[in-house]
Structure 1
Amino acid sequence: MKKQYKDKWLKALLAVFFVFGIGATVFIFSKESNEIVEKSKEGSSSSGNLKLSQEDLAQKNILDSLTNLKLAYDQAILEKTELSQQLEIERKNIENLMEIIKVSKNPSVEQIHIYRKQLSDMNTALVSKGIEVKNLKSQNKSLLTEIESQNVVMYQQKAENDTLISKQKKLESTLKDASRLSLNTFKVIALREKKSGKELETDKAKSAKKLKVSFSINGNSVAKTGKRVFYIQVLDQNNTVLGENKLIEFGNDKALVYSFIVSVDFQGKPANVYGILDSGDDHFVKGTYFVNFFDKQEIMGSASITLE
């Protein structure tokens, strides 16, 4: 009994669900059909404006592409290459086209076609200029590398030249020092003259008629040969230059007042040199006389004599 009662109860419940399901299905399909009909009506009513919306959208897309294109030119101009001026002209063309498109209301299909063609041409120009900029950057990089290499070579060459110049100056200085003549044995004596004409040494001022100065030159195989001139300066007790008392300038802000000159034909071998200072009609007074020996402006030695 209980089992039969349960079977009847289940069959009744299934029947209720079946009826409810059919009703719900009919309701859903009915609602979807109404929505489809309404959407169809809305589509038919707005079909006249759909064409304009598509053209407006195309115009906006072109403006967005031009904006990105302008940004690409801005970046390329920042590279500061030889093409910067050309790139600025292309960027100005983009800006002009953007202004034209912005003021254009309800553009036609033909206008949109023209805008797209211009955008394509500008894209092509950017690609071409980009390749040129890349090539220029590569060339500039190679050029900088070459310049750096040349700078290294020039620096090395300069260092070598500086070393050579330093060595040359040192060698010239060594040669100059080596070629200088060395003088020694500086002497001065007073001479009196006998009636026979023979000259004798004296230390008496009243009988002295001449002062004879002498010195020796050491041999030097690297010194310049030929005529060599030396300047003799004789000073009395009052520091007055006796003799010719002439001034000579040597062209390097150096000057000398000398009494007389002596010369010798130097051939690299040792030589003895002397010169005479004649009192003339006057005579030497008592006192000490100082004699300085010069090779040009350079003093080489000195001597003195005292006459009674």
Structure 2
Amino acid sequence: MKNRYGNNWFKLFFALLLGFGLGATVFIFSSELNGGQRKMKKDHAIQNISDVENGVLAQKNILDSLNILKTAYDTVILENAALFEELELEKRNVENLMEIIQASHNPSINQIKIFRNQLVTLKASLDAKMEEIKKLKSQNKNLLTEIESQNVVMYKQKVENDTLISKQKKLETTLKDASKLALSNFNVVALKEKSSGKESETEKARNTKKLKVSFTVNANSIAKTGKRVFYIQVLDQKNSVLGENKLIEFGNDKALVYSFIVSTDFQGKSANVYGILNTDDSLFKKGTYFVNFFDKQEIMGSTSVTLQ
């Protein structure tokens, strides 16, 4: 019976020891579990705070980059009127993204990624435009250089043309002047008629029946050949035109009143020409008579005769 009592006590002690061990183990495990959960919650809270701070910082950085991008577009737009509409559209895209980011509070990581991707796209677009502008500037520079070269060539050509035109005009003027007929040996005499019909010179007005004018057409190898007409104008003391007293117009606002016409068949050699002014007995009076010689409207020379 004593052995039986000892066994029961031992079993009781062992049960108590086992219960105490299990309770301690449960307590320790529970404490560690609760501590681990609290740590995880704390770490998660810290991570959330860090994510928010990183999101705000990333948002600010993206906005700063967009501001720089917008300023770059403003500068490029001012310098490139040809691409104004395209650049303005790209600038508007930057401004729209800025407005979206500014309206976003505590953006998520995915939103930040989207904003960054859009920023990269806008930067790439600006880089492409800058490269295009660079090419255009290079092309414009080459074009300006080509235009300047062409202008130099054109200027030289113009100078040469002007020189040639000037020489041609001088040559034409020289040829025109050289081709003009020159008259010389202008002379006028009063004639009287004898009873025999023979004519002789006189200085007396009462004996004068006609005036004979003469001149020489000088030789000219480059002047136009053929029939050439000259107009003779005889003026009395009152400056009245004697003879036919006819008016001829030359079509260039030039006109001439002449006394009579003389002509000759000019063949490049010197030729003597004369003409007669017939008048009534009572026409010639004492005084000086002036005779002018015309090739069309141009006066070629003059002379005079005085009757007593």
- Please classify the TM superposition score into its range, dividing by the shorter chain length: 0.7 to 0.9
| Aligned length, in residue pairs | 269
**Aligned residue in 2 for 1:203:** 203
**Aligned residue in 2 for 1:164:** 164
1:95: how far off?
Answer: 1.5
Distance (whole Å) between structure 2 residues aligned to residue 60 and residue 112 of structure 1: 11
CA contact (8 A) 1:81 1:136 kept: no
1:41: how far off?
Answer: 10
Distance (whole Å) between structure 1 residues aligned to residue 267 and residue 81 of structure 2: 71
**Aligned residue in 1 for 2:55:** 55
Q: Structure 2 unaligned runs (5+)? A: 1-39
Farther off after superposition, 106-115 or 190-199: 190-199
Letter in 2 for 1:153: V
Q: Structure 1 unaligned runs (5+)? A: 1-39
**Aligned residue in 1 for 2:292:** 292
CA deviation string 1:229-285 (max 9, x = no partner) = 212111101111112223334455544322222222211011111112111475322
**Aligned residue in 1 for 2:146:** 146
SS of the aligned residue for 2:276 comes to strand
1:75: how far off?
Answer: 2.8
**Aligned residue in 2 for 1:190:** 190
Distance (whole Å) between structure 2 residues aligned to residue 155 and residue 185 of structure 1: 51
CA contact (8 A) 2:219 2:269 kept: yes
Of the two, which has the highest radius of gyration?
Answer: 2
**Aligned residue in 2 for 1:7:** none
Distance (whole Å) between structure 2 residues aligned to residue 44 and residue 132 of structure 1: 50
Letter in 2 for 1:298: E
Distance (whole Å) between structure 1 residues aligned to residue 305 and residue 104 of structure 2: 118
CA deviation string 1:16-40 (max 9, x = no partner) = xxxxxxxxxxxxxxxxxxxxxxxx9
SS of the aligned residue for 2:140 comes to helix
CA contact (8 A) 2:217 2:271 kept: yes
CA contact (8 A) 1:206 1:283 kept: no
Report matched runs for 1:104-119 at 5 Å: 104-119=104-119
Distance (whole Å) between structure 2 residues aligned to residue 108 and residue 281 of structure 1: 134
SS of the aligned residue for 2:55 comes to helix
Farther off after superposition, 128-137 or 170-179: 170-179
1:83: how far off?
Answer: 2.1
Farther off after superposition, 127-136 or 72-81: 72-81
Letter in 2 for 1:276: I
1:271 is the counterpart of 2:271: yes
TM-score (norm: length of structure 1): 0.79
SS of the aligned residue for 2:159 comes to helix
Letter in 1 for 2:166: S
**Aligned residue in 1 for 2:123:** 123
Farther off after superposition, 107-116 or 269-278: 107-116
Letter in 2 for 1:171: L
TM-score (norm: length of structure 2): 0.79
SS of the aligned residue for 1:213 comes to strand
Letter in 1 for 2:264: V
SS of the aligned residue for 2:82 comes to coil
1:108: how far off?
Answer: 2.9
CA RMSD of aligned residues (A): 2.3
SS of the aligned residue for 1:163 comes to helix
